[in-house]
Structure 1
Amino acid sequence: MGTRLAGKTALITGSTSNIGRSIALEFAAEGARVAVSGRDRQRGDAVVAQIRAAGGTAVFVTADLDGSQAASRALADDAARALGGHIDVLVNNAGIYPASTTETVTDDMFDQMYAVNVKAPFFLTAAIAPRMAERGGGAVVNLGSWIARLGIPVSALYSSTKGAMETLTRAWAAEYGPRGVRVNAISPGVVRPESADDLAEAMMRGTPAAASGRPESIAYAAVYLASDEAAFVHGTVLDVDGGRTTVAVIAA
């Protein structure tokens, strides 16, 4: 067990699978008390059991983040109670990604994606960050995406929601930073939870990494941004994308 997050409590939304699950596991391994959250109790309990088996501390908090202020406030209250009264670190990870092109987006799809990907973390941060400030500090880590800044011919709606989260990161850093709450974001690249597939690998051609990433890479970045090691880091978007958005490797 590590100690980089020893003594801290953390709420990680959407942490029953993939990137969120890896963040929960790594936070617990570094000493944090973790609130695993999501809609599926069975999957959540499995993550909690894995954390406890490794010597960590975790609880599961059911959450259906539909974008309403009431749902976000309920999760903030439930998680704080489950963690002993307060939350030191909030990771806004939960999101949905229905495949679409601009022409195939419906009214319902548009509203649901913005509700889950933007409104829910907006109201959750509004509920938790002021409480952090009252206690003297805390950290918020948002999840953006590489396609928020590098246009691709699909998923325009999803990429716009992640662009919104990266913009909110900077705005919240200005709003809450002077009150002791650091707000930063991670922009993951092409990440595969299990074995990579042909499409994922094709999307990473011409990058320094030359391959898709794993959820653990995002989790390590989240630990850094949540820890005291990042005490002088405010309002940044940390690219963890194998160089996808910043570097072009020209094959000989």
Structure 2
Amino acid sequence: MASASMQGKVALVTGATSGIGSATAEALAERGAHVLVAGRDSARGKDVVSAIQKRGGKADFVGADLRDTQGVRQLAQDALGLGGGRVDVLVNNAGIYPFGPTEDMEESLFDAVHALNVKAPFYLVAELAPGMADRGGGAIVNVSTVAAVLGYSGMALYGSSKAALNLLTKAWAAEYGPRGVRVNAVQVGPTRTETTAQSEEDLRRLAAQAPAGRPASAAEIAAAIVYLADDATSSFVQGAILPVDGGRSAV
């Protein structure tokens, strides 16, 4: 393993069966964390777990349906069970990102986006942050987007949900920070994953607007998440919204 700075820590990553989530799970395991790979697809989840274990890491798959509060609370309880009664790191990565005109966004889609992108992180934090605070430490990393701070045509619904997550990041830092729980977010730019690669032209067009001029890899985003999750690298970082967007929010 590259580092053992997170040895003994239990890390729960939502949406961890592919893309940024799986890259984050693998990177956390490289630092010695026991990673709980959360998602709906058990086959893909077990593939991620197997890949981690083959490299000498520790991981378990935990099934999760975050579309309603009961499922969120169940995930928290299952994670605590697998983690020996503790979760030290929570990465709120799961989300959906439908793009399109505001007038085409049906109410059912609006509700689904805010349920997964806002309500699920809210209630996972409600379930897990108090335990972190009681133990005197923990780290929460929320995965946001540059669309939360810049106006993009067709991204009103998605961007608004992540703007809420940005505010929650700061509010939770104020609420739980005094008891040792660090809460931060990564503000992600266009990233090549299994899903976004299906719209390569749109991905390249968006990425071209930033100084970097290219999409990020999932591993590049994961590196930033792990930086914020690891006390060894970010112990004095609290309530930060870290742009990892190739410079897009700077221009």
Which band: TM-score by shorter chain?
over 0.9
Whether the 8 Å contact between 1:143 and 1:185 is mirrored in structure 2 is yes
Report the TM-score when normalising by structure 1.
0.95
Identity of aligned residues (%): 50
SS at match of 1:5: coil
Q: Partners of 2:5 and 2:23 in 1: how far apart?
A: 16
Aligned length in residues:
246
Structure 1 unaligned segments of length 5 or more: list them: 248-252
- The letter of the residue matching 2:28 is F
Q: Partners of 1:243 and 1:128 in 2: how far apart?
A: 33
Give the RMSD, CA atoms, in angstroms: 1.2
Residues 206-245 of structure 1 correspond to what in structure 2 (within 5 A)? 206-228=209-231, 229-245=233-249
Q: Partners of 2:147 and 2:98 in 1: how far apart?
A: 15
Whether the 8 Å contact between 1:173 and 1:234 is mirrored in structure 2 is yes
Offset of 1:59 from its aligned partner?
0.2
- The letter of the residue matching 2:244 is V
Question: Comparing 91-100 with 142-151, which one deviates more in the overlay?
Answer: 91-100
Whether the 8 Å contact between 1:5 and 1:30 is mirrored in structure 2 is yes
Task: Name the one with the larger helix percent.
Answer: 2
- The letter of the residue matching 2:218 is P
Q: Partners of 2:82 and 2:159 in 1: how far apart?
A: 33
1:204 match: 207
2:250 match: 246
Q: Partners of 1:97 and 1:22 in 2: how far apart?
A: 19
SS at match of 1:78: helix
Whether the 8 Å contact between 2:87 and 2:128 is mirrored in structure 1 is yes
Whether the 8 Å contact between 2:52 and 2:59 is mirrored in structure 1 is yes
Q: Partners of 1:77 and 1:50 in 2: how far apart?
A: 25
Whether the 8 Å contact between 1:5 and 1:223 is mirrored in structure 2 is no
- The letter of the residue matching 2:250 is T
1:84 match: 84
Q: Partners of 2:46 and 2:102 in 1: how far apart?
A: 37
Structure 2 unaligned segments of length 5 or more: list them: none
1:9 match: 10
Q: Partners of 2:117 and 2:211 in 1: how far apart?
A: 29
1:93 match: 93
Residues 1-252 of structure 1 correspond to what in structure 2 (within 5 A)? 1=1, 2-68=3-69, 70-193=70-193, 197-228=200-231, 229-247=233-251
Whether the 8 Å contact between 2:16 and 2:45 is mirrored in structure 1 is yes
Offset of 1:206 from its aligned partner?
4.3
Q: Partners of 2:209 and 2:137 in 1: how far apart?
A: 41
Offset of 1:150 from its aligned partner?
1.0
Offset of 1:189 from its aligned partner?
0.4
Moved over 4 A (4+): none
Offset of 1:84 from its aligned partner?
1.8
